[in-house]
Chains A and B, each alone.
Chain A
Amino acid sequence: ILNVEQSPQSLHVQEGDSTNFTCSFPSSNFYALHWYRWETAKSPEALFVMTLNGDEKKKGRISATLNTKEGYSYLYIKGSQPEDSATYLCAFKSGNTPLVFGKGTRLSVIA
């Protein structure tokens, strides 16, 4: 059974703080790593799909890095804003399995 772990489970930060959280996944048979942003009462929104070791992707104040050899990805948010409050999900895909999701990191940004 593939295991995708996200930490921390939840996080409270002040507006303006930068923050980061981790997704750990199996390092063998890697195909892709997805990050999603999921606001309450909405559907998960795709942030990044990362496929290459050393990949670094950026969208506005959010960026992500990928290390497939050691099996982890970091998501960074620079200068957090209240509208960044959401659950951030990562999902791992190996060569022949469907996406396996972590349980997410719930971020609350306090104004």
Chain B
Amino acid sequence: NAGVMQNPRHLVRRRGQEARLRCSPMKGHSHVYWYRQLPEEGLKFMVYLQKENIIDESGMPKERFSAEFPKEGPSILRIQQVVRGDSAAYFCASSPWTEPYEQYFGPGTRLTVT
């Protein structure tokens, strides 16, 4: 039973480019969460999605960031026109649809903006 998969593990982008981070949830999980870890900070919630629906995006920056979880395929976190401050580790977690919605984390994508 494969765990949560994220790719790429490391991503380097120049300022102004786009970054696309992918997350495949565990088999049978229908909920996906994205978190960001900035240097010296803890994990910060960004967005919570179910298939084809954004449930809670209260942690997403208002501009340049978007997320989707299509009917088929992985969840995508997209960052347009990246800036140096976007450099961070981005973690995805998935949970089943039953309570207490225990979350299982992927290995993360480390984004570096040069």
Which A residues lie at the B interface, using CB under 8 A?
A: 31-32, 34, 36, 42-46, 49, 51, 89, 91, 98-104
Contacts and interface: CB of A to CB of B under 8 A. Distances in A.
Contacts of A46: 102-105
A100 B103 contact: no
Interface residues of B, number: 22
Interface stretch (B11-19, B41-49, B68-76, B77-85): B41-49
Q: Is the interface of A mostly helix, strand, loop or mixed?
A: strand
A98 B57 CA distance: 10
A32 B48 contact: no
A46 B33 CA distance: 15
A101 B106 contact: no
Contacts of B25: none
B42 A101 contact: yes
B1 interface: no
A100 B103 CA distance: 13
Given A32-B100, A98-B56, A43 B42 contact: no
A31 B101 CA distance: 11
B102 A44 contact: no
B33 A98 contact: yes
Contact of B103 (A34, A103, A104): A34
